[in-house]
Structure 1
Amino acid sequence: MNSMIATHNSDTAKMFPTEQTVVEKEDIISNLHESILGHILSFLSTLEAVHTIVLSKKWIDLWITITGLQFSDSFHCFGKKMQKEQFVCFVNKVLLHLANSSIQSFSLSLTCYQYDSTLVSSWISSIFERGVQKLHIQYADNVHFPSNSLFSCKSLRQLMLQMKCTLNVPISASLSNLQNLNISGIRLVSESTTYSKDLILNFPVLKVLEARGCEWLTKQSISIKAPLLETFCITIWNSLSNESHKSSIKVFAPCLKDFSYEGDLEQDVIVLNASSIRSASIVIVIDENTVEKLGLQVQKLLAQIREVEELKLLFYKVLMHANNIFTHLPAFGRLTHVQLNEVTCEALMNILHNSPILNTLILQNGLSELNKDVLTCASVPQCFVSSLKVFQFKGFNLHEHELLLAKLVMKNAAVLEQMTICAAFWLRYSDIDMEKVKEQILSFPKCSNFVMIKLVF
């Protein structure tokens, strides 16, 4: 190898560095400024950052310059998972060494052991005092969360809490620099004991708010004021809570574009200035014993998003027990794309008649039968005449009313371009002659001369 290196001319050696030339190069990485090295080390787990002390004498104290801490009790040390006592000792020592340092980001994932609630709370409290901008806590057990420290932290930009804890929210709370909020499993309670005022949460620069499986246990209505909010996602299951709180959640978000709701409609979610919403996802699961009295809540929720362009509307355990939910639909004047499941004939036709410029229709899990005569006697929706181009029918069960729907679409959709029918899984194991079914569907009269029909049986 060395003899070969010796034969290279100087120009070639410059273009293709050999082993010899690499050895002679200076250590560029180590010569970087400490602040840059600290920033680079912040992308590693804190355990890995500390281990860089073995590289050279110069690296012994470099890890102290890191601006981001990542702790996880699932990390392995020298090939073995750290014991609980080792992990606690490690976190305490790191926080002690960095007692006077500014921490921009802090991530704590506790998935392997149970910890003393006071200990975890002290770790979190110490980080709020360091000017933290990004905070991520993941822990499955209850923690006494330092609520006062949170709502007095002006530096916070991103907050993700996936944990069981109670947040004591002041009657008027504000996080002035928060841009992204993601919480799950949190119990939010009010510090106030009176009903006189709404609980107000001010987020002047917040753009994303995701709240999943949280309990909003306040005596007052909750007002979320977020003038720059673009994405709002809430999953709320009050029927699973031992406490009954019917206070409404009001969202003031004039720039909101994406709205997502999943729940049982036991608690009102009211989006004011909702005309800016362009994409919405609604997932509702209601017990059959309570569905009839909640029809009004469904209508109120749909009325808020009537200006959407794309809509995912998924109902479970609902439509078979309440066929009147869609009798008073708003007009979806801008709706071009809709995805539905467990929909009845009546509900489907009502939606189609209220969506005059619909371009794409996707049905999941077949079509529930209540009154197939609705399809045979139905007037043709406006979208069939002028706009419907894509129709996807998933979970096709070969029921008579489903064949009637396929026939209705093919006969009347004048500008239809793509029609896909996917058979239900169980049909693979049936004795039905699927070739005859295909022939039957393909024999239906077609209004559009350009439609491509795909049958996935």
Structure 2
Amino acid sequence: MKSTILFVLMQWISSVLRRGVQKLHFYIREHVFVSSHSLFCCNSLVELKIQAPCTLRVPGSHFVPNLKIIILHEVKFLNDSFPHSEELFLSFPVLKAFECINCTWLNAQYVSIETPQLESFGIEYLNTSLFHCTSKFRICSLHLTKFSYAGYLSENIILLEPSSILVASILIPCLKACMLLAQLCKVEGLHLQLYMIQAHKRGRHFASLPTFEKLIYLELDSYFQL
């Protein structure tokens, strides 16, 4: 009975999107399968927020025409091109802001996000059940000025044009901080939260942190367990 109701609900949402909806905020506690075609190919949709444990099936290459804001919580992306391709390529020509919290990318070794107008990008992996995730993100944007990351998988983030980033917020284990922070060495503002277990054995990692020659503002929070 519950699955039937959810199916009818998703069919209704797809129907509504065809009528020119510009903003969709979707909150639900039940797991559902969502059509990427109805969401991403809706020409009128400019803002999409999903906070639901849903599975979103996407082809290996996907062009999303008019979305400007995307906020995703607990979404599972399923690569429909697997096993022929283990890469997801998402193109957002007018996207301005992208936020992804505790999302997973199944059957995708690489997730490439091409967003020429992107200004703000945030990703968070603080759910311990996501430690097994190995997908690597490649973000390409010439106008990215704000970047935030929180989690344990920072080595999986590759910024192809990091020099435009002015402000960054990072919450990360010190052991894994160096690779990501090296990409952000030209930022002017940095909020950095580091934590380390057995700090007396791992102090060498501080020597590898970049000098941030353009830094104007620094906010540092740290937690070290000896």
TM over 0.5: yes
Shift in Å, 1:266:
6.4
2:205 alignment counterpart: 325
2:220 paired residue number: 340
Report the residue type matching 2:80 in the other structure: E
Q: 1:306 aligns with which of 177, 181, 185?
A: 185
Q: 1:120 to 1:255 in 2, by over 3 A?
A: same
Selected match of 1:270 from 134, 154, 158: 158
Larger relative helix fraction = 1
- 8 Å CA contact 2:169–2:191 kept in 1: the answer is yes
Whole-Å separation in 1 of the counterparts to 2:169 and 2:103: 18
Aligned residue for 1:325, secondary structure, equals helix
Which residue number in structure 1 is paired with residue 194 of structure 2? 315
Equivalence for 2:144 = 256
> Which whole-Å CA distance do the structure 2 matches of 1:124 and 1:131 have between them?
12
Q: Which has the higher contact order (CA 8 A, sep 6+)?
A: 2
Distance 1:369 1:141, change over 3 A: closer
How far residue 167 of structure 1 moved from its aligned partner, in angstroms, is: 0.8
- 1:257 touches 1:276 (CA, 8 Å); kept in 2? yes
Aligned amino acid, residue 222 of structure 2: E
Q: How much has 1:193 moved relative to structure 2? A: 1.3
The answer for the alignment partner of 1:158 in structure 2 is 47
Shift of 1:197: 5.7
Cα distance in 2 for residues equivalent to 1:164 and 1:267:
25
CA contact (8 A) 2:171 2:194 kept: yes
Q: Deviations over 1:287-337 (max 9, x none)?
A: xxxx7xxx3x42110001111111011023447363222111223110111
Deviation digits for residues 59-118 of structure 1 (CA, Å, limit 9, x no counterpart): xxxxxxxxxxxxxxxxxxxxxxxxxxxxxxxxxxxxxxxxxxxxxxxxxxxxxx998321
In structure 2, relative to structure 1, the CA distance for the partners of 1:115 and 1:213 (3 Å cut) is farther
Paired letter, 2:204:
N
Pairing 1:222–2:111 present: yes
Amino acid at match of 1:336: I
Cα deviation, residue 196, structure 1:
4.0
Mapped to 1, the partners of 2:225 and 2:7 lie a distance apart of 56
Query: Residue 114 and residue 315 in structure 1: after superposition, are their counterparts in 2 closer, same or farther (change >3 A)?
Result: farther
For 2:142 and 2:154, how far apart are their aligned partners in 1? 25
Q: Please report how far the alpha carbon of residue 141 of structure 1 lies from its aligned counterpart in structure 2 after TM superposition.
A: 1.4
Equivalent residue, structure 1, for 2:63:
174
Alpha-carbon separation, structure 1, partners of 2:143 and 2:197:
32
CA deviation after TM superposition for structure 1 residue 123, in Å: 2.1
The alpha carbon displacement at 1:144 in A equals: 2.1
Q: Quote the residue 1:283 is aligned against.
A: 171
DSSP-derived class of the 1:194 partner: coil
Corresponding position of 1:206: 95
1:344-376 residue CA offsets vs partner (Å, 9 max, x unmatched): xxxxxxxxxxxxxxxxxxxxxxxx697xxxxxx
Q: TM-score, normalised by structure 2?
A: 0.89
Distance 2:51 2:198 in 1: 33
Aligned length: 224
Q: Is contact 1:124–1:146 with CA below 8 Å preserved after alignment?
A: no
Q: Which one-letter code corresponds to 1:209 in the other structure?
A: F
Asked whether 1:188 is paired with 2:77, we answer yes
Q: Is the 8 A contact 2:53 2:74 kept in 1?
A: yes
Return the TM-score normalized by structure 1: 0.46
| Percent identical residues | 37
Task: Check 1:302–1:341 CA distance in 2 against 1; reply closer, same or farther (3 A cut).
Answer: same
Output the amino acid matched with 1:256: L
Deviations 1:127-150 (A, max 9, x none): 222122111111121122122222
Deviations 1:33-83 (A, max 9, x none): xxxxxxxxxxxxxxxxxxxxxxxxxxxxxxxxxxxxxxxxxxxxxxxxxxx
Q: 2:38 corresponds to which residue? A: 149
**Maintained 8 Å contact 2:24/2:48:** yes
Higher alpha-carbon Rg: 1
1:178-213 deviations in whole A, cap 9, x for unaligned?
111111110111001136463110000100111111
* Residue 234 (structure 1) aligns with: 123
Is 1:247 paired with 2:126? Answer: no
1:125 aligns with 2:19: no
Would the alpha carbon gap of residues 299 and 319 (structure 1) be closer, same or farther in structure 2, given more than 3 Å must change?
A: farther
Q: CA RMSD in A?
A: 2.5
Structure number having the greater strand percentage: 2
**Structure 2 counterpart of 1:248, one-letter code:** K
Q: Deviations over 1:270-299 (max 9, x none)?
A: 111100111000012x5xxxx7xxx3x421
Instruction: Measure the CA separation in 2 of the matches of 1:132 and 1:332.
Output: 44
